[in-house]
Amino acid sequence: MSKPKVLLLGQIEHAHAAWESIKSIAEVITPVSSCRRDFLVEASSGGFDGCVAAYRTFDSVAITGKIDAELLDALPRSVRFICHNGAGYDQVDIQACTARGIRVSNTPTAVDDATADMGIFLLLGALRNLAVGMAALREGKWRGDPLPELGRDPQGKILGILGMGGIGRNMAKKARAFGMKIWYYNRTRLDPKVEKEVGAKYVSFDELLAGSDVLSLNLPLNDATRHIISRREFAKMKKGIVIVNTARGAVMDEDALVEALESGQVSSAGLDVYEFEPQVHPGLLKNPRVLLAPHMGTWTVETETKMEEWAIGNLRLAITEGQLRSVVPEQRDM
C-alpha cells in the first residue's frame, strides 16, 4: 500500500527527528521551483498530484508567493491541509482556503515566550533611549554629543497591550515584574479569572490610546487590523508615548509613525517588524530614537525547534487522523 504524499515548502532546520517520523509514514515531495511563476507551472503540470497536506515555513513565500486563490487553483484537489510554521499566518488567504475546503494550522503558544521577551527588550530599550547611545558608541563618540535625552523607568508606567492573545498575556506577566500597570484592549474580553491571573485591566480602544505610556502591538494582521494604528490614533495618544511592535509591520501605518516620531508625539519606538519587509522605511532608519531589530522575535534555537515540532505534529495528525491540533481561529467551526 503506497504512502500518502506531503508537500514540503521550506526547510526543516532543527526538528530533524520529528521530520524523520513524517518520512516514515509519508512520501515527501519537494518542489524544484525557485519562484512563484515556476511553482504554479510545476503544480499545474501535476508535480504535486496526490499530496494530501503541505508543510510551509515563513520563508517559503519567496518561492510560492502568498497562498491565495490562484495558487490553490494550481494545487491538486487532494490537498486538504496546510500546516504553517508560525503564529502569524497572513501569508495564507484563509478565506480562499476555506472556500476550497482546506484547513490551515499555525503554531500558537510555541512563540509566546520568545516574542514576549523581544517585546520587553524593545520596551526597555525604547524607554531608556538606548538606541541613541548605542549608535554613538559604535561611532566612537561614547554616549554622543550632544548627550541623548534621559530615559524613563518602567515602574509605575501604564503598558497598553493591543491584542491579548498568548503573546500579549505573556508580555503582560513579564512587564508586571518591572512594576508596570497593564491595560489591554482585545476584540473579546478575557475571562475575569484570566484577567486576574494576568493582572490586566480591560479598557476601550480609545481609552487604551489615551492612557498608555507604552503601547505594545500584539495582534494578528488581517483586513480588520491593517493600519489599525495611523494618524487618527496617534493624535489620541499621550504626547511622548513609546510604541513597541512585535506583531506585523502593517498593523501600523509606518508613514504615520515616522510623522509622529518627528513631531515628538511618539518619543521613541522599538520595532521588530516592518510594513514592507525586508525593506525598512527610510524615516525609521535615520531616526536615532528608534530601536530596530530585523524580525528576530522567535530567533532562538529553542523556539525555532518548538515551532517546527508543533507544525510537524499538525502534519502528522493531518496524515494519520485527518485532524489538526491548532486550526486557525477563522476555521474553528469548519
Which residues carry out catalysis?
248, 277, 295
Question: In residues, how long is the chain?
Answer: 334
Query: What is the Cα–Cα distance from 142 to 147, expressed in whole angstroms?
Result: 9
Give the largest CA-CA distance in the chain.
Answer: 74
Dist CA 299 CA 265 (whole Å):
31
Using CB atoms within 10 Å of the CB of residue 192, give its burial: 0 to 12 exposed, 13 to 18 middle, 19+ buried: exposed
Sign of the CA dihedral with 135 first, then 136, 142, and 148 last: negative
Q: Which residues contact 249 (CB under 8 A, 6 or more apart)?
A: 271, 273, 274, 275, 276, 277
Q: How far apart are CA 119 and CA 165, in angstroms?
A: 14
Helix (H) or strand (E) holding 18: helix 16-23
Q: DSSP secondary structure string, 204-248? A: -HHHHHHH-SEEEE----STTTTTSBSHHHHHHSPTTEEEEE-S-
In the beta sheet, which residues pair with residue 9? 56
Dist CA 60 CA 42 (whole Å): 15
Q: Is there a contact between 281 and 292 (Cβ–Cβ < 8 Å)?
A: no
